[in-house]
Amino acid sequence: MIVPMYKYSFLVYHADYDQFLDHLKKLGVAHIVEHQHEPTTEMQDLYRKISDLSKTIKILESRRKQIQDPAEVENITDKSGEKLNQRITEIESRLEQIQQQLSSLQKEEKQIEPWGQFTLEAINRLSEANINLRFLICPDSKYNPEWEEKYPVELISETDGYCYFIFVDKSENKELPEEMEESDEMPLPANTLEDVRKEISTTQAKADELNHELDKIAVHGIELLEEYQKKLEEQLADINVRFQTVDEVEGKIRLVEAWVPEVKADELEKWVDKKEVYYLKEAARKHEKPPILLRNNRFARLFEPVAKLFSLPSYIELDLTPFFAPFFLLFYGFCLGDAGYGLLLVLAIAIYKPKAKPGMRPILTLAQLLGLATILFGAITGTFFGINLIENPPKFLANAKDLFLDNDQMFTLALAFGAVQILFGMVLKAINQIRQQGFGYSLSTWGWFILIVSSGIFYLLDMQNPEAGHFFGPVHTVLVGASVLGIFIFNHPKRNIFINIGAGLWDAYNMVTGVIGDLLSYIRLFALGLASAILGQVFNQLAFDLAPDIPLIGILVTLIILLIGHGINIFMSGLGAFVHPLRLTFVEFYKNAGFIGGGKEYKPYQRVQVKN
């Protein structure tokens, strides 16, 4: 549910303003109302610093994961997050320069390497003796080995389709023989291959040293950087509070407005009464956009991060988190649908969970619930690590074969899930309309709900007993009539009846096409579950068919194929089992529930807790 918000307007004497803000920050319950949305230059700079620092932390976290043994990395000397951030900037700038230098040296090495090892001193001595070496290059197809007998030519190397050779010129004639005119003459290298490689080694050593320093920061400095980021955020919050404060009575009085959740209002009022601060309190109005604070039970709270992937709800509507949570759980299990995979997921998380950070544990608990749902649907379909228990039941399940659902039944179940969620969404939409506008605005939605549900029920009754004639019988006809009135006549209390009829016809077209399309979307649950099961079976078959008959090697090959194959299947199917229920939630369910969204998260003005 969405926690009700109250808007507080504090009138503070200018001499007490700084002290008031300091106490308000310590209390940490007030979300400051923003009157001005264009940030100052100082605020923009802080936004940029915080954003850059966040990216830096993410890069360092990724770097830390790649370090094989973090325990062996020595500690850092800097204990200031600000200085550490400055040092990282310096290192990155220096590494960029070094990388450019290395690139240039490697290019030079590639140019010199075909000429082999030589010394510039020897070339200079030959030049002093009037023996000039000319460095030439030509394609393999143009080089004639007879040149080595006719002219003072020495082939040095053949590399990448080119011949590198030297022409010794003992005369003052600078012209090459006519048959060598298609050869390109290269300038005398400025450095020897040995010198360039030494410089590359030295430059690479500098880069390695800087990278090692980054490794030390990645292992020991991330917490310092996170604390520095929090200080910057607190600084930004301080500036923003002052920026949003309105001066009254020629600056003698400062007006500070803030949103406070209902659950924290008493705490705030006790404090302001004690400080004798004058304030006005009013409940949030429909046209205002107060921040959103969700408060759900332990089960639904686990799904709040999932809901936030799309958008927080608007303040005037229902929080749909507790309503989509059970469906999302079942849909995930339906899509992955292998009891073995689910069991592996639950056990792996149970082993890792005690070692995880406290902030990660709710996510891991959610993953365990998804694993349990997967076990449930694996048991329903008789799938265990790709083994089809319907076709190959073990002895202790030989008599339980009929308890498993086949593909036709799973297909029907997927559509049934879709119908239930869509109809449930319609009910929530009607409740939202009643809350926001009044009962009269929900009649069209109730009309569609009654029409679809009643038609479905009476159709199924006639399928069981065709002679009963329930479909369009007296009761059904009355319900259809009431539905038609709600859909076409009373769909909007304040509009002309003829406009309502036209709007109802348009709504009918959209509803019929939309609901059918939405319902068919739920077939993906069946398709993904079937695909996961088939892939598991394929990898099992490959593992046993490709294994050689050599005893130990055959077992080893089978195990490798099973591990790799099922690993791939768990990753791909697990990803699909998360993404597609998201789509069904955020598109089909949210649409039929009339979800508005666009809520802004509640972020109180508070002091940052820095670790010592």
Do 290 and 315 touch, CB atoms closer than 8 A? yes
Distance CA 32, CA 9 (A): 10
pLDDT for position 395 = 67
Helix (H) or strand (E) holding 62: helix 41-66
For the chain, what is the radius of gyration of the CA atoms? 37
Phi, psi dihedrals of residue 10, rounded to the nearest 5°: -100, 130
Give the Cβ contact number of residue 201 at 10 Å. Answer: 10
pLDDT for position 396 = 63
Three-state DSSP string of 511-523: HHHHHHHHHHHCH
Distance CA 594, CA 385 (A): 40
Do 257 and 32 touch, CB atoms closer than 8 A? yes
Scanning 221-360, the segments in alpha helix (DSSP H) are 222-244, 262-275, 298-301, 304-308, 321-336, 339-352
Q: Which two tokens stand for residue 466?
A: 């065709």
Condensed to tens digits (0 to 9), the pLDDT of residues 35-63 reads 877 888 888 999 999 999 999 999 988 88
Burial of 534 (0-12, 13-18, 19+ CB in 10 A): middle
pTM of the entire structure?
0.76
Condensed to tens digits (0 to 9), the pLDDT of residues 223-264 reads 888 888 989 988 888 888 888 888 888 778 889 899 999 988
Residue environment code for 474-508, b if the CB has 16+ CB neighbours within 10 A, otherwise e: eebeebbebbeebbbebbbeeeeeeebeebbeebe
Do 106 and 203 touch, CB atoms closer than 8 A? no
pLDDT for position 612 = 46
Place of tokens 């009135």: 485
pLDDT for position 398 = 60
Point out the residues of the chain with pLDDT beneath 70: 171-174, 393-402, 609-612
